[in-house]
Structure 1
């Protein structure tokens, strides 16, 4: 009897005090558009990994924080505006009483994306209308931003409405290299980073171009992601609603496959928005806003190619961005035009999605991160 009682107490203790690394909930941050929407900026929630429920935690006032990036207890937000309103904001999020630590101009209009490097000491900001990429370091225990470099791009593409000039839309890191997508010229620029000193505060921090990946002409390269082994690259094409799959062979990125984001017979406006790989590496998801308002699901084959599996209504309009919980159990879609986030349950074996019926009401949500 004593053994049974002890076992019962042990189980209860594990439930109430799960071991380190056993996530019961996650911090979740949502970036929004504030102009004319009633939104205050960045919303922080607690996401229950067992139930899919959320609890509001706090709000950070910030103008048009259209994209967010997080490294440990630091949060970066690009404030999408022009001139002096085009800024990068740095927050301390170590407690629910968040603090704005620093803010800097991005030297380019309408910044739309920001990314930390793997070490959390460097940030890249994509200026969409400015057609430029800003390179920052974070110094003094990541409490201060220093702007080191600004790369300005030229060129355009065949879409006379959307590709009259360069439009830098995102920058992602993989194997210490930065992959920078230019929607305007259908290119992905690949860079290494170098620094000529021991302290990021001093010395020159620069981007060195290694190669250029030419994507689909008129496709409008927007965001990208990588396979689990890092050897396959998936880039979403905003203007044509496609995913282009590149495989690295002998140091070169070779186009291997092009998949549609809508299926046969669709004739509406395209709007490829976001693309991500599941934590287990077995599924790829992508959103198509435009008129489709879908999230697409593909199985990732052993060779990195994609096999279409299913498509799901996002139960709203304008799915600009989505996020997968770190445990891979849920997919949350930010529907900008219908002011809500839709929560899908993800099957751990098939990757299939099921609408939970849960909704998070947020004005003009455009970015979700955990």
Structure 2
């Protein structure tokens, strides 16, 4: 069985109440889900979102409240990281990054300054300078604090490898883009409006069907969309928190399991992971379970590559908990608990044989 490594990004600065210390590397027991610490790469400010290339030899990071992206080499035998280079992203507070279909470019969203950049990946894995920026424009939503600018929050590539989809929290919209490879920039292909004040944050695609699911941060809802190429057509809107919850909460992360049978979402405030069943005929969601995250501000969660465990990063209480995923998609808490400062992102990578 191949060795599995986990890379955990975090917040480090006082402005984010950060108590992290860089990127932490762990070896993962694929049977129990336990983490064993391998390395802490210090000297990094807010490495808040990470991505590993398809070859498993390079890791990339954006840095919250800063203006750069960083490339690292991965030692496939040990999982350890080594700094390769840094490049400006052309804007403030880069918040997400994703590879294009070829794996030779990295798309980055600048949340604070409403732009997206395409950074070329060089043959040695280093990042090259972006040729130009694409401005993200549109009308703003009604929230006076959280919708002061467009605030692009996520830019994953769809499973067909043709379009990047950009939920814009401040603009109550989701915009799709295609890459103009000659110019090295993104060009808008389509957009769909969300409910005013919803604050679309992250999007997840169904693995087999033309469906997409968006967690709306500000009103704690999930929208189901039918996907037609670059276009999204809304089908359903459901709350991400239980009907008897009356407190304040915001949606954060969303994911679909490998079989396309369940959608998972994290709620900050309710401090839970919601599990929703996917209707096989329509793609619509029905609530199945809410489990407590046993910590505050569950900004991020992810499923391991084997689909056995779901890991929750509690940014506010500096912990990661592992949940076992049942055959019905429901979650059960394990004994796995990792203490790490202000975790914001977890990505996995397979190394050599164990």
Same fold (TM over 0.5): yes
Give a deviation string over 1:335-361, Cα, whole Å, max 9, x none.
0011000110111x2011000022000
30, 55, 68: which one pairs with 2:50?
68
- Residue 162 (structure 1) aligns with: 146
- Do structure 1's residue 360 and structure 2's residue 338 form an aligned pair? yes
Query: 1:153: Cα distance to partner?
Result: 2.5
- Do structure 1's residue 153 and structure 2's residue 132 form an aligned pair? no
Larger Rg: 1
260, 265, 268: which one pairs with 1:286?
265
351, 354, 357: which one pairs with 2:329?
351
26, 29, 35: which one pairs with 1:45?
26
- Do structure 1's residue 314 and structure 2's residue 290 form an aligned pair? no
- Do structure 1's residue 55 and structure 2's residue 36 form an aligned pair? yes
Secondary structure, aligned partner of 1:239: coil
In structure 2, relative to structure 1, the CA distance for the partners of 1:277 and 1:166 (3 Å cut) is: same
- Do structure 1's residue 180 and structure 2's residue 180 form an aligned pair? no
- Residue 33 (structure 1) aligns with: 11
- Residue 351 (structure 2) aligns with: none
- Residue 352 (structure 2) aligns with: none
Query: 1:116: Cα distance to partner?
Result: 1.5
Give a deviation string over 1:68-107, Cα, whole Å, max 9, x none.
11112111111112xxx42101111134442211101112
Instruction: Select the structure with the greater relative contact order (CA < 8 A; seq sep ≥ 6).
Output: 2
305, 312, 322: which one pairs with 1:326?
305
- Residue 127 (structure 1) aligns with: 110
Q: Distance in 2 between matches of 1:53 and 1:333?
A: 13
- Residue 92 (structure 1) aligns with: 73
| TM-score normalized with structure 2 length | 0.91
In structure 2, relative to structure 1, the CA distance for the partners of 1:251 and 1:163 (3 Å cut) is: closer
Query: 1:251: Cα distance to partner?
Result: 7.1
Secondary structure, aligned partner of 2:283: coil
182, 205, 210: which one pairs with 2:189?
210
- Residue 109 (structure 1) aligns with: 92
Equivalent pair of 2:320/2:337 in contact (CA under 8 Å): yes
Query: 1:330: Cα distance to partner?
Result: 0.2
Q: Distance in 1 between matches of 2:317 and 2:229?
A: 46
Q: CA RMSD in A?
A: 1.6
| TM-score normalized with structure 1 length | 0.87
Query: Where does structure 2 lack aligned partners over 5 or more consecutive residues?
Result: 349-354
- Do structure 1's residue 297 and structure 2's residue 275 form an aligned pair? yes
Query: 1:287: Cα distance to partner?
Result: 0.2
- Residue 227 (structure 1) aligns with: 206
Give a deviation string over 1:267-324, Cα, whole Å, max 9, x none.
21121000001122211100010x2001000111213211210100001100000010
